[in-house]
Amino acid sequence: MDRRAFISSLAGGLLAAPLAAEAQQPAKVPRVGYLSMFSRSDPTFEPFRDVFKQGLREHGYIEGQTITVEWRFAEGSRARLPDLAAELVRLKVELIIAETTPATRAAKEATTTIPIVFNPIADPVQEGFVVSLARPGGNLTGVTQMSPELGGKRLELFKGAVPGMTRVGVLSHPGIFGEATVRIMLEETEAAARASGVQLQHLEVQGPNDFDRTFAVMSRQRVAGLIVLPSPMFFSERRRIVDLAAKNRLPAMFFLRGFVEAGGLMSYGPNLPDLWRRAAGFVDKILKGAKPADLPVEQPTKFELVINLKTAKALGLTIPQSLLQRADQVVE
């Protein structure tokens, strides 16, 4: 090789080297935050988080390899959520996944710029999280577990299982959602009650220590059935609620299947694993450049009716065959 060819070859090699090194640079691993009011090992939500991680894997994100998740848990204390949300903001995560309404509220107050994916929450419009379901308009979007017809549908199905009841207790958790959200849930149930000739008895529970007193009130007032409105605290305390209902021989309609699996009579509500899996899809879209303001909030599309025949027998109830045929699962 002559001198001129050697110099050209050397220069080309030197120019190619940095280009090759640049091409071999590993892709940036996105860092996201996950904010929950509950504990990491909470048996209520841990299986759903596994579904969420599976949803991420379906989109090509493997925790610890192609995505980093900063997990933050408030251990059941709403008061800790603001500090944990602020910590995620300081870490400069690329987005925050907020588990349930209280965590979403804390995340929203902590940042107006970092995208927030909520899941699953009550009415995001009434809570002030988004302008509308179709056009969220800010830095929040995600999945809601609310659907307009749920309150009436639950009472209709409940009346089909316990046709003779005329007085039904409605258990709500004030403060966990905004006043407007709770009012809408109650109004839906009240409209269905008027149509079916049922009188409702509204009962509020601030915390777990109120359950014994509340069930004693229902017993004195001869309430014939109980509808439990959505609340993360109710779901966490589901075994206690189910046990009190059994002790007082009170048929109850719940909002999620976990209550029935714990021994409750029946439930009608969204399929929660489906919601957590869909939340992973929002993460994928935002990390690929989509803006939360342009991603419509998704409502539940899969609902399930679950009936516990063992509990029905213990209560002396005979569930109509027509209702059993509509059930997605019958626990025997």
- Span between the terminal Cα atoms of the chain, in Å: 87
Across the range 201-211, mean pLDDT stands at: 92
Quick one: pLDDT at residue 157? 95
Residue 315: both structure tokens together? 């209560």
Place of tokens 């998704």: 298
- Residue 243: Cβ-neighbour burial (10 angstroms; 0-12, 13-18, 19+): middle
Q: Is the pLDDT of residue 100 over 70?
A: yes
CA separation for the pair 191, 324 (Å, rounded): 25
Mean pLDDT is lowest, of 5-9, 153-157, 212-216, for 5-9
Across the range 230-243, mean pLDDT stands at: 90
Q: Is the pLDDT of residue 6 over 60?
A: no
In percent, the amount of the chain with pLDDT more than 70 equals 91
Q: Is the pLDDT of residue 76 over 90?
A: no
Across the range 74-97, mean pLDDT stands at: 96
pTM of the model: 0.81
Band (24; pLDDT cuts 50, 70, 90): low
Domain boundaries, the chain: 31-147+272-294, 150-270+303-331
Across the range 299-306, mean pLDDT stands at: 93
Fold match flag (31-147+272-294 vs 150-270+303-331): yes
CA separation for the pair 278, 299 (Å, rounded): 10
In percent, the amount of the chain with pLDDT more than 90 equals 69
Match domain 150-270+303-331 to its CATH number in 3.40.50.2300, 3.40.50.720, 3.40.50.10490, 1.20.1090.10.
3.40.50.2300
Quick one: pLDDT at residue 233? 86
Quick one: pLDDT at residue 31? 98
Q: Is the pLDDT of residue 169 over 90?
A: yes
Q: Is the pLDDT of residue 47 over 50?
A: yes
Hey, what CATH topology would domain 31-147+272-294 get?
Rossmann fold (3.40.50)
Provide the mean pLDDT of the chain: 90
CA separation for the pair 332, 322 (Å, rounded): 17
Band (7; pLDDT cuts 50, 70, 90): very low
CA separation for the pair 292, 68 (Å, rounded): 20
Q: Is the pLDDT of residue 294 over 80?
A: yes
Across the range 241-251, mean pLDDT stands at: 96
